């Protein structure tokens, strides 16, 4: 058993990581699907979208050949509508709410229709928003992820001059460095960021990080500096590394953080990322699925997901679970890691406790408890995907009120520091892209009021 990189040929890597999402092949195919829509009054699909996209309206526009209008309808609610069409867990949002489900028929393919018009807009660089003349107001945003970009877009359209400070060398946040490349390719992420900034009024300063003790090549910035130079600041720096397992053996070579693993994969290219023969992935959320499927696609022979609850409680969607199954990943339910064993400093096996679900608590949730029985899995790599921890140290250093590192905001999106607003994963602790986009819109509207433009 060995952890190694460069396991596959270039062609095989390309095949394994190409976009899995086939588009409508023709405008006729899109129109046929659009014409199935019942254009419901008080549409449940719209209600279930966190950004409230007017779904029947944009579908009607596709049905009547008004693709540009349709893209505008989507972007006005969600400027990352193209990315969301590829990554949103639609079965628990719009498509899950479609009335066709009640008729026991396939729901309308809302995501695919959304992708149809928004990708056209990106590819043909349709100018759908006119920026108002500059008002002279300046806003700083920390982080060029979905929340920061969405906030920047609303502000820029209103004539605010926006500067985004981003610690990485590319924008898009976890869209670019987190979510699996077969859902959103690097080229797509770059084109989405470029499309958003093409409206004007947004400058992204890459390699700029809020905080101190920075590695060479990164420019440090501080909150007092921003408060002096800008009329308001929006913090959209997301969350940090994976939470530790806190079990013996966690420091062995071959134990990796899912976020770092995926970051390297997306930043350095597939062939340079080492993967084991036998990989255990701890967790069953979106990150765990992405780490497991990508390990397989990098050439791992066996990948096993370890989850302490049952299929009923798994945080990933059915669609994600099916992706992992199709890639040949196995799942061990009701199991929790208790020790990682090694030889010569390297991972050799993972010891797990068998779990059972205990009695329901006041909320009806049943917590897993150990049965006393254990089992051992031969593995040479363990990927931790047990949720991301917020940047608690940084937030405390900035003296921002928080709950265990999640930034606290009031109903206007404002933090305890005057003129400083926040949203996205940094506030909610880690949800989905569509939630971060909505938070960015809300933050922008609160800032517009604060700086006197509303």
Ligand X SMILES: Cc1cc2nc3c(=O)[nH]c(=O)nc-3n(C[C@H](O)[C@H](O)[C@H](O)COP(=O)(O)OP(=O)(O)OC[C@H]3O[C@@H](n4cnc5c(N)ncnc54)[C@H](O)[C@@H]3O)c2cc1C
Exactly one of 50, 107, 145, 249 binds ligand X (CB under 6 A); that residue is 145
Q: Which residue is nearest to ligand X (CB)?
A: 145
Sheet holding 366-378, edge to edge: 335-343, 346-360, 366-378
Q: Is 254 left (phi over 0), alpha (psi -120 to 50) or beta?
A: left
Spatial distance between the Cα atoms of 291 and 286, rounded to a whole number of angstroms: 9
Spatial distance between the Cα atoms of 450 and 454, rounded to a whole number of angstroms: 8
Q: Residue 147, interface with ligand X (CB under 6 A)?
A: yes
DSSP class of residue 284 equals -
Exactly one of 173, 249, 368, 419 binds ligand X (CB under 6 A); that residue is 173
Exactly one of 33, 327, 432, 438 binds ligand X (CB under 6 A); that residue is 432
Which of 137, 139, 134, 135 is CA-nearest to residue 420? 139
CB of 442: closest distance to ligand SF4 in angstroms? Answer: 24
> In sequence order, what are the residues at sequence separation of 6 or more whose Cβ sits closer than 8 angstroms to the Cβ of residue 255?
249, 340, 347, 381, 382, 384
Q: Residue 39, interface with ligand SF4 (CB under 6 A)?
A: yes
CB of 258: closest distance to ligand X in angstroms? Answer: 6
Exactly one of 34, 110, 385, 448 binds ligand SF4 (CB under 6 A); that residue is 110
Residue number with CB closer to ligand SF4 (55 or 427): 55
Q: Residue 174, interface with ligand X (CB under 6 A)?
A: yes
Q: Residue 279, interface with ligand SF4 (CB under 6 A)?
A: no
Q: Which stretch binds ligand X (CB under 6 A): 102-110, 142-150, 196-204, 340-348?
A: 142-150
Residue number with CB closer to ligand SF4 (56 or 201): 56
Q: Residue 31, interface with ligand SF4 (CB under 6 A)?
A: no
Residue number with CB closer to ligand SF4 (71 or 273): 71
> In sequence order, what are the residues at sequence separation of 6 or more whose Cβ sits closer than 8 angstroms to the Cβ of residue 306?
280, 281, 282, 283, 331, 332, 335, 336, 337, 350, 352, 377
CB of 356: closest distance to ligand X in angstroms? Answer: 29
CA angle 342, 347, 351 (to 5 degrees): 75
Q: Residue 108, interface with ligand SF4 (CB under 6 A)?
A: yes
What is the per-residue DSSP string for 147-204? HHHHHHHHHHHTT-EEEEE-SSSSSSTHHHHTS-TTTS-HHHHHHHHHHHHTTSSEEE
Tokens for 341, please give them. 């064993």
Q: Which does 231 bind (CB under 5 to 8 A by kind): ligand X, ligand SF4, none?
A: none
Q: Residue 55, interface with ligand SF4 (CB under 6 A)?
A: yes
- Where does this chain bind ligand X (CB under 6 A)? 87-88, 142-148, 165-168, 173-175, 178-179, 183, 209-211, 236-238, 259, 262, 286-287, 290, 424-426, 430-434, 436
- Where does this chain bind ligand SF4 (CB under 6 A)? 37-40, 43-45, 55-56, 98-100, 108, 110
């Amino acid at each position: 058993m060995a952890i190694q990189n460069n396991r596959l040929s270039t062609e095989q890597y390309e095949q394994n990581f190409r976009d899995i999402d086939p588009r409508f092949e023709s405008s006729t195919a899109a129109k046929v699907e659009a014409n199935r829509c019942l254009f419901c009054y008080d549409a449940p699909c719209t209600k279930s979208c966190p950004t409230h996209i007017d779904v029947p309206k944009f579908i009607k526009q596709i049905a009547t050949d008004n693709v540009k209008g349709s893209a505008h309808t989507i972007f006005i609610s969600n400027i990352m509508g193209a990315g969301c069409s590829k990554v949103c867990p639609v079965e628990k949002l719009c498509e899950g709410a479609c009335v066709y489900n009640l008729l026991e028929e396939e729901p309308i393919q809302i995501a695919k229709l959304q992708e149809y018009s928004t990708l056209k807009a990106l590819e043909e660089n349709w100018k759908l928003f006119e920026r108002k003349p500059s008002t002279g107001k300046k806003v700083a945003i920390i982080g060029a992820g979905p929340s920061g970009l969405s906030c920047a877009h609303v502000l820029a359209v209103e004539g605010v001059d926006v500067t985004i400070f981003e610690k990485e060398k590319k924008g898009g946040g976890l869209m670019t460095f987190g979510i699996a490349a077969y859902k959103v390719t690097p080229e797509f992420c770059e084109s989405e960021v470029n499309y958003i900034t093409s409206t004007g009024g947004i400058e992204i300063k890459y390699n700029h990080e809020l905080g101190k003790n920075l590695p060479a090549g990164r420019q440090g910035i501080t909150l007092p500096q921003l408060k002096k130079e800008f009329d308001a600041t929006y913090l959209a720096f997301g969350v940090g590394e994976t939470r530790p397992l806190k079990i013996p053996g966690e420091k062995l070579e071959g134990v990796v953080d899912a976020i770092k693993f995926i970051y390297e994969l997306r930043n350095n290219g597939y062939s340079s990322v080492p993967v084991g023969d036998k990989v255990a992935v701890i967790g069953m959320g979106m990150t765990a699925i992405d780490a497991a499927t990508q390990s397989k696609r990098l050439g791992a022979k066996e990948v096993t997901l370890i989850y302490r609850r049952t299929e009923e409680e798994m945080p990933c969607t059915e669609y994600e679970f099916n992706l992992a199954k199709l890639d040949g990943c196995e799942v061990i339910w009701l199991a929790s890691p208790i020790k990682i064993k090694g030889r010569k400093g390297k991972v050799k096996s993972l010891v797990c406790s068998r779990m059972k679900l205990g009695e329901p608590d006041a909320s009806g949730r049943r917590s897993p408890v150990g049965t006393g029985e254990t089992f051992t899995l031969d593995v040479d790599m363990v990927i931790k995907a047990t949720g991301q921890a917020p940047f608690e140290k940084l937030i405390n250093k900035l003296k921002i009120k928080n709950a265990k590192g999640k930034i606290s905001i009031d109903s206007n999106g404002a933090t305890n520091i005057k003129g400083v607003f926040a949203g996205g994963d940094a506030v909610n602790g880690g949800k989905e892209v569509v939630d971060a986009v909505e938070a960015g819109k809300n933050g922008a509207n609160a800032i517009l009021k604060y700086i006197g433009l509303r």
